[in-house]
Amino acid sequence: MRRGWPLAYPGMRIGLLGGTFDPAHAGHRHIADEAMKRLSLDRIWWMATPQNPLKPAAAPLAQRMASARAQARGRRHVVTGIETDLRARYTIETVRALHAAYPGVRFVLLLGEDNLATFARWRSWPALIEEIPIALFARPDGRAGLVVSKPFRRFAAARRAQRDAALLGDAPAPAWCFVAAPLSPLSSTALRAARRQADA
C-alpha cells in the first residue's frame, strides 16, 4: 500500500462507489449512506475515475474530487483518486489491483441500477462479477426486475436475498444483491445540463 492511499486493514468491509462525479450530488451521497447502513460496511471509498471510457470527457479530476468531498459525510466516507495511481482504466483492473494491494480486505462494488443499461459493455464483465460481490441499488426510474439484465441473468444463481444484504461483504464472489432503497432522482447529466442552461 502506497503512501497517500486510503487506509484499510484485513477483515474490513469497504464499499467501492466509483464514478465520474461530474458533479457529485445527493443521489451519490444517498447510495453511500444506504450502503453503509444496509451492507454493514466499515468504510465507503468514493473513487473518482480518471475518465469513464463510456462517457464524454469529464472535468479535471481535482474539481470532481472536490465535488465528491462536498457530498461525502464523515471520516468513514473517503474520497480518493487511487485509480489514477493504479493506472486502471476499467473496473476489473481496479478491483484486481485493490485485491493485490489490500490482502484480506473485503471489498463490495456499489452500483446504481442505471448501470444495468451499460453493464454488458463493461470490459470483462463476467470476470468482474466473479471477482467481487456487487450491490445494486434501485433508482426511481429503474426497473426492479433484474430479468432484463443479461449479465445478472447469467449469474442468477449467485443472487443473495435482500434480507441478507449485510452478509454480502463476507460472501465469496460471485455474489450480488439487489437493494431496493429509494434514491434521489438527481443525475450528474441533468445537473450539468442545468448548469449550461444557467450559463447561457
How far apart, in whole angstroms, are the C-alpha atoms of residue 65 and residue 54?
19
Query: Burial of 146 by CB count in 10 Å (0-12 exposed, 13-18 middle, 19+ buried)?
Result: middle
In a domain, 104, yes or no: yes
In a domain, 106, yes or no: yes
The CATH number that applies at residue 78 is 3.40.50.620
The sheet with strand 43-48 has its strands ordered as 77-80, 43-48, 13-19, 106-112, 134-137, 176-179, 159-160
In a domain, 185, yes or no: yes
Query: Burial of 101 by CB count in 10 Å (0-12 exposed, 13-18 middle, 19+ buried)?
Result: middle
In a domain, 81, yes or no: yes
Where do we find the cell 445527493? 26
How far apart, in whole angstroms, are the C-alpha atoms of residue 4 and residue 136?
29
pLDDT (tens, 9 = 90+) of the chain, 200 residues, equals 677 799 999 999 999 999 889 889 888 898 999 999 999 999 999 999 886 665 666 788 899 999 999 999 889 999 999 998 998 889 999 999 999 999 999 999 999 877 887 889 899 999 999 999 999 987 655 554 444 578 888 999 999 999 999 999 999 999 999 887 665 555 444 433 434 444 44
DSSP-derived letter for residue 115 is G
